A and B are shown apart, each in its own frame.
Chain A
Amino acid sequence: MNTIVSIQNLSKTYDNGFNALSDVSLDIREGEILALLGPNGAGKTTLISIVCGIASATGGSVSVGGHDIEKEYRQSRSLIGLVPQELHTDSFESVWNTVNFSRGLFGKAPNPGYVEEIIRELTLWDKRDSQIMQLSGGMKRRVMIAKALSHEPRILFLDEPTAGVDVELRKDMWKVVERLRQQGVTIILTTHYIEEAEAIADRIAVINRGKLLLVEDKKNLMEELGKKALYIHLVKPVDAVPDSLSKYGLSLSNGSLVYTYDTAGSGTGITGLLNDLNKAGLKVRDLETRQSSLEDIFVGLVSRDAEKAENQTSDGAAS
């Protein structure tokens, strides 16, 4: 698969000295949906702002579609659509005009038919002549999406697209994302809602305190790092974990036994457990495994990263 956005050793130190990104390298593949996951203040918006030309990097380089974002900013930026995190809209401009304005800014010839399609898709058609300030927050976000799509970008950045957004808009947005995916548009979305990344992303990048902790196919991530829970439903439900099985750290769930194991570990211990169940005279009615959510992975990664930082600072203080 082709790389469409190539980020090399990117660093950003803001004017006030704050180091928001350190040495981030990331290749984004053409046509994929990449979820950029990280807690508040991790540097997600900063990263996007640099790629889109809103902020300038203090180190490293970025190329978009093979074009350096500084030397060939016209080519690189014309490939990108951005829906920023904050609702920044004009007040008095009409929906129709503001979307066409965006298209013009990106140097595209007027195309009322295409703009109409987008506005309809985002169910803004009835509001096309309304002033933006008369719209609700959700409607304004739709306008921002329409603006980002107005110039037919090949890459779409969605910065926290669903933060504080109603169900209806969320559904419509995923419909748009699905259509864009089918058309081969690359989509990068940031979120701190893990379920969202889990639901739609092909790959997941985790960023914390300006450092990229991991980039992985979602599937691999779930398999490699995920914990699984084995639910053992018994013919005769129990109300306590038998003493003979204590070494497995089982828990109870509605009369069933639950065994948690690491799929990445060398041995899962399932065979031994089943043998011991047999010895204990417990008859198994059904087995079921449940995979731990990305949330567990994410929380694990971030808290390990935080621990590391703490150790480093205490080391630093000692030396």
Chain B
Amino acid sequence: MTGFNWRAVWAIYRFEMARTRRTILQSIISPVISTSLYFVVFGSAIGSRIQTVEGVGYGSFIVPGLIMLSLLQQSVSNASFGIYFPKFIGTIYEVLSAPISFIEIVMGYVGAAATKSLMLGLIILATASLIVPITIAHPAIMLAFMVLTAVSFALLGFIIGIWADNFEKLQLVPLLVITPLVFLGGSFYSVSMLPPAWQMVTYFNPVLYLVSGFRWSFFEVSDVSPLLSLVAVAGFLAICLAIIWWIFKTGYRLRS
């Protein structure tokens, strides 16, 4: 056997997807419930004061942000847990001893994590469309944003899962980095609603570009140019791939 080990990628992918099926409550239902709660809080409470943002009803306006929030959190946590857990319980020995390259390992774990969060994103979209009116101006671009985001952040999660050597570290990044970035990245407001100084700060937040581009694919309103958004996501993906490549080269923290 010398070629690409597709069967191994498929085996890991299926194994990870089976894990989701077993934990359906935790993987799918709980994010749907928490998203619905965001709707109640942001949509109803704030929405009763802010009628529209840039011509879009507030309830509809926050839908792309909510989807991005889940997509980011779930991609990172699924992928980081997926690779951390075998390290933790020791079953990683089998993956390490198999005729499989690091790239194939990444594809299996990251592919499954991205698939899961994509499914979740679509479920949240469906749930939201039952509550507020939603139009999708550019479905293909919307999907492209979702896929790129899911893959990029699953890669980030994978990196975190390899780096982490305890559960605290595993949860640190999602909690201290991802969630604040999403909340401060214009998920629930337009940047133009902020004072100028804060606007400036927000432009350094990578999540802003994601949410803005993603929202544009729905309503054709955005804080930054959609093209810039696409470049930003692609850049983030490239950075993650570069780190993965570096881990691969150095065998960092997988082989003793």
Distance A82 CA – B96 CA, assembled complex (angstroms): 11
Q: Which residue of chain B has its CB nearest to the CB of A56?
A: B255
Tell me the complex Cα distance, A8–B91, Å.
Answer: 29
B12, B99, B255: the one contacting A55 at CB < 8 Å is: B255
Chain B residues with Cβ under 8 A from A86's Cβ? Answer: 90
- Cβ of A290 within 8 Å of any chain B Cβ, yes or no, is no
Count residues of A near B (Cβ-Cβ below 8 Å).
Answer: 36
Which of the listed residues A52, A105, A147 has the most CB atoms from chain B within 10 Å of its own CB? Answer: A105
A105-B11, A107-B5 as given contacts; A93 in contact with B94, CB under 8 Å: no
> A53 contacts which chain B residues (CB < 8 A)?
96-97, 255
Q: List the one stretch of B14-22, B127-135, B175-183 in contact with chain A.
A: B14-22
Within 8 A of B (CB), among A40-79: 49, 52-56, 73-78
Pick from A88, A97, A102: contact of B18, CB under 8 Å: A97
Check A93–B15 contact: CB distance below 8 A: yes
> Contacts A89-B91, A93-B15 known; A107 to B256 CB distance under 8 Å?
no
| Chain B residue contacts of A88, Cβ below 8 A | 89-91, 93-94
Q: What is the interface residue range for chain B against chain A?
A: 20 to 34
- The answer to whether the Cβ of B193 comes within 8 Å of any Cβ in the partner chain is no
B18→A93 contact, CB < 8 A: yes
Instruction: From A14, A89, A101, A102, give the contact of B256 (CB < 8 A).
Output: A14
Within the complex, the shortest CB–CB distance from A157 to chain B, in Å, comes to: 9
Q: In the bound complex, do residue A107 and residue B19 qualify as a contact, i.e. CB atoms below 8 Å apart? A: no
A65 → chain B closest CB, angstroms? 12
Whole-angstrom CA separation of A101 from B12 in the bound complex: 8
- When the two chains form their complex, are residues A105 and B256 in contact, meaning their CB atoms are under 8 A apart? no
Asked if A105 and B1 sit within 8 Å, CB to CB, the answer is: no
Instruction: Please measure, in the bound complex, the distance between the C-alpha atom of A107 and the C-alpha atom of B4, giving whole angstroms.
Output: 9
Judged by a CB distance under 8 angstroms, whether A108 is at the interface is yes
Residues of B within 8 A of A77 (CB): 97-99
Residues from chain B with Cβ under 8 Å of A73 in the complex:
99
Does A15 make an interface contact (CB < 8 A)?
Answer: yes
With the chains together, A211 CA to B11 CA distance in Å? 39
Which residue in chain A gives the minimum CB-CB distance to B12?
A: A105
Is B172 an interface residue when CB atoms closer than 8 A count as contact? no
Decide if B219 is an interface residue (CB 8 Å cutoff): no
CB distance from B157 to the nearest CB of A (A): 20
CA distance A105 to B1 in the complex (A): 12
Residues of B with C-beta under 8 A to A108 = 7
Could you say which of B5, B90, B95 contacts A74, with CB atoms under 8 Å apart? B5
5 closest pairs, A vs B, by CB? A104-B11, A88-B90, A74-B99, A105-B98, A77-B99
9 CB-based A-B contacts, threshold 8 Å: A54-B93, A54-B255, A74-B1, A74-B100, A91-B89, A92-B19, A105-B7, A105-B8, A106-B99
